[in-house]
Structure 1
Amino acid sequence: MPIIAICNRPSKEIWRRSDDRMKNQENDTLGCGNFDMKRVVIAHPSPDLYGSDRMVLESVRAVANTHRVLFILPADGPLADRLKEVGAEIMIMPTPVLRKSLLSPSGLLTLAWRTLTVLPRMVALLRRQRPIALYVNTITIPLWIVAGRLARVRVVCHAHEAEQYLPSLMRRLLTAPVRLAHHVVANSDVCLRTLVGAGVSGDRVSVVYNGVPDHDEVKPPREAPQGRLVVVGRLSPRKGCDVAVRAVALLRARGRDVTLTLVGSVFPGYEWFEEQLRDLAGDGVVFAGFQDPVTPFVDDADIVLVPSYGESFGNVAVEAMLAERPVVASDVQGLDEIIQTGRTGLLIPPGDPQALAAAVESLLDDWPHALDLARSGRNAACERFAIARYHSDIVRVLSAPIASA
């Protein structure tokens, strides 16, 4: 039975009680597990079910049959329920996650205080667990990498970020802890190039493209389009939701009977962006909020839009291709590694609602061509982004001997 240990505030007394509870729960767990199975500790910054969250769930599926997995989250959420289903033990330990809000004098002081408070407990936990590897998912929780090295545990960091457009100094600061990892997994070539450009040794980095589960039965696309568009993902400036909303306004002004469904919610602190989107959105735009699963929304769409300003990979594009839906995406970073424009989808300049509207219009006006793109996209996605390949690659990375640094 998976275990959830909850620690809400980092006060001294609560941390002391939490440490005691964690030790007791770890002892209880050791009494009911398989002693022959080696343990892996996985740390992740979010309890949600978006791109990197779904990928770390697949990483757990990959190793859970041969390893005992202790999964550490900063808070409870929908991801925890999925992890329980695949047999992971869950511990909730609030730890600092790098956000833009911390890039201020007060934010840096908060980060320093949290580091002094939490780091010793992270190291102690790892020393008690003695895992064969600590798997740190994303570079936004660098303290876990530091804790792993201090506890003398092999550290694998799975990078899902490609912050190419940050100033060079900021990129180097962001990736500095990643250089401490024994091995780094990059989810795309652009992610690899970004890491190496920021000082991470290329000898320690492996590219493992995300794997996306396929559905055995694909709901066929409509024989004639109804103008239904969908954007799936966080409501954030980075995802270009506003670009999609503006493109729909242009299409409707031209007499096109199109609708747009936005499937996703905001990060805490970004509520202002959703308010701006709602003010911008006119008729034909539906805010569906967070949804799990998202498959019914993709299946109901004629065209899937991925108008991001930057993506190290782009799971939604692959999900749309597997669902045999034509995709229009921004010509940025990892998305241009997924889509071959004119063959498996269409790529347009980022931040350009006119170009997005024109691409959608071209597909609606030549629906047979759109369906050809969708079929080619599905074939390419099945070949390149199979979930079985991803599982085997993750097991290989975690099981392979890693030289000390």
Structure 2
Amino acid sequence: MSGASSRTVLVAHPGAEMFGSDRMLLESVIGFVESGARVVVALPARGMLDVELRRAGAEVVIIPMLVLRKVLLTPRGLPTLFRDMFRGLRASWRLISRVRPDVVYVSTIIIPQWPLVARLRQLRAVSHVHEAEASGNRFVNTVLYLPHLAAHRTLVNSRFSLDTIAHALPLLARRSVVVYNGVASPELPAAPRRDIDGPFRVLFIGRLSPRKGPDVVIDAAAELARSGHDVRVTLLGAVFAGYEWFEEELRRRAAESGVEVVFAGFHQSIWPFLEDADALAVPSRVDEPFGNTAVEGILARRPVVASDSSGLREAAGGYPTSTLVPADDPSALAASFARIIEQWPTVREGVDESRRIALDRHAPEQYRATVTGHVVDPT
């Protein structure tokens, strides 16, 4: 890209884990680096993402920043909010003076100061929105999206996200562009096993939180077992700090279900678990802006059953081996698992076509090029 090698991109991101938006941030940074730009990433803490960013060729700096969490929007959290806001303003201002970027790329809506600071410093800013809750409070959504009017361009990860923005803040939606997530996968994932001999192996990937619905998977598996099927569930993920009570509840529910439930914890690589699975469940109860996990299941050549809602319709819809079911409905989820078992030879034959479609829709190279075009070398 012309002039990219002389540009400096300052990237701001609110965490250092390796979940959906973190992985997309890494893909974006890889694209910026590949274009020849100097890339400096500001994070609030060290973590697995920090290691991967440096491996990709970016410089990483750890600075204070305001990261909006629900706990901060309570009377008890307000002192911390104001403290983080002032510390974050000072730190971002100083970092911009030191790095002297040509453009600031702001990842997610929960670091609201960055587009405003970039605008004050007369820098081009691009926000990338990975959050959308159409069922949420419209006023709250408007407040969250409002700072991103300071950005020159806003990227969003689905039509659902764009529609949610349009409902809350039409002016921002008119300046936004949909860029579907790029999802990496192994070059040749293992085929599904030829026959279902032994337990039907269901995998859940994600935070162990009520929003994501791992308890729905346990209840569905229990119902499937009551109908005569042998089934095993693996929960791949961990809880947020403060949600330990929910893991305890899940373990109690698992013990009462009569089904083998494996609590695998968090693992950076999900592919060995997908290889061992017969089907992936994505049973989110609430709005998902997109649904990387569903795409990863399809790319892994596994049938996927996802909630028929929000961005999951875009992520999991239109594939021969994916099924959409009503959210928070264990019976519908169990029925879908039963159909997969009954139609296993047909399902097995369809996974390669599903993978081909997913590769066409979500090639990481295409994602990197598109985001880089908007950020590093805009026309």
Q: How would you bin the TM-score normalised by the shorter chain? A: over 0.9
Residues in 2 aligned to 1:381 and 1:73: alpha-carbon distance in whole angstroms: 31
Answer yes or no: is 1:41 the counterpart of 2:10: yes
1:5-404 alignment, distance < 5 Å? 37-65=6-34, 66-199=36-169, 200-225=171-196, 226-282=199-255, 283-309=259-285, 310-340=287-317, 343-401=320-378
- Alpha carbons 1:327, 1:374 under 8 Å: kept: no
Kept in 2: contact 1:214–1:382 (CA 8 A):
no
Aligned residues: 368
Counterpart of 1:163 in structure 2: which amino acid?
E
Structure 1 window deviating more from structure 2 (195-204 vs 140-149): it is: 195-204
Point out 4+ residue stretches in structure 1 off by more than 6 angstroms.
Answer: none
Supply the AA of the counterpart residue of 1:232.
Answer: I
Deviation at 1:121, TM superposition (A): 2.2
Find the counterpart in structure 2 of residue 9 from structure 1.
none
**Could you report, residue by residue, the CA deviation over 1:126-176 in whole angstroms, capped at 9, with x for unpaired residues?**
132221111111111112222222222211111011111111111111111
**Separation (CA, whole Å) in 2 of partners of 1:400 and 1:348:** 41
User: How far apart, CA to CA, are the structure 2 residues paired with 1:43 and 1:208?
Assistant: 19
Letter paired with 2:42 = I
Is this contact kept in 2: 1:341–1:347, CA < 8 A?
Answer: no
Q: Distance in 1 between the 2:187 and 2:320 partners?
A: 23
SS at match of 2:77: helix
Distance of 1:373 and 1:313 partners within structure 2: 23
SS at match of 1:85: helix
Distance in 1 (alpha carbons) for counterparts of 2:288 and 2:88: 31
Which amino acid is the alignment partner of residue 275 of structure 2? D
RMSD, matched Cα: 1.7
Q: CA deviation at 1:212?
A: 0.8
Closer, same or farther in 2 for the Cα pair 1:117/1:80, shift >3 Å? closer
Whether the 8 Å contact between 2:64 and 2:91 is mirrored in structure 1 is: no
Contact 2:14-2:44 at 8 Å conserved across structures: yes
Deviation, 1:369, is: 2.6
Q: One-letter code of the match for 2:118?
A: G
Compared CA separation, residues 383 and 341, structure 1 to 2 (3 A): closer
TM-score for the superposition, normalised by structure 1: 0.87
- Supply the AA of the counterpart residue of 1:40: V
5+ residue gaps, structure 2, are none
Q: What is the match of residue 3 of structure 1?
A: none
**Distance in structure 1 (CA, Å) of the matches to 2:148 and 2:183:** 25
Q: Is the contact made by 2:102 and 2:123 (CA closer than 8 Å) also made in structure 1?
A: yes
Q: Match for 1:280: what amino acid?
A: R
Aligned to 1:356, what secondary structure does the other structure show?
A: helix
CA distance in 1, matches of 2:161, 2:73: 22
CA contact (8 A) 2:7 2:37 kept: yes
Task: For residue 202 of structure 1, report the CA deviation from its aligned partner.
Answer: 2.8
* AA at the equivalent of 2:90: P
- Cα distance change of structure 1 residues 168 and 68 upon mapping to structure 2, 3 Å threshold: same
Amino acid at match of 2:276: D
- Mapped contact 1:345–1:373 kept (Cα < 8 A): no
Q: Distance in 2 between matches of 1:342 and 1:36?
A: 40
Q: Is the 8 A contact 1:130 1:153 kept in 2?
A: no
Percent sequence identity is 43
Letter in 2 for 1:96: L
C-alpha spacing 1:227/1:36, structure 2 compared with 1 (3 Å): closer
Distance 2:236 2:117 in 1: 36
1:234-290 Cα distance to aligned partner (Å, 9 max, x none): 111211111111111212222321111111112222222222211211341111111
Contact 2:301 2:352 in 1 (8 A): yes
Alpha-carbon deviation of 1:222? 0.6
Cα distance in 1 for residues equivalent to 2:200 and 2:24: 31
Q: Quick check: 1:345–1:374 contact (8 Å CA) kept in 2? A: no
CA distance in 2, matches of 1:316, 1:69: 27
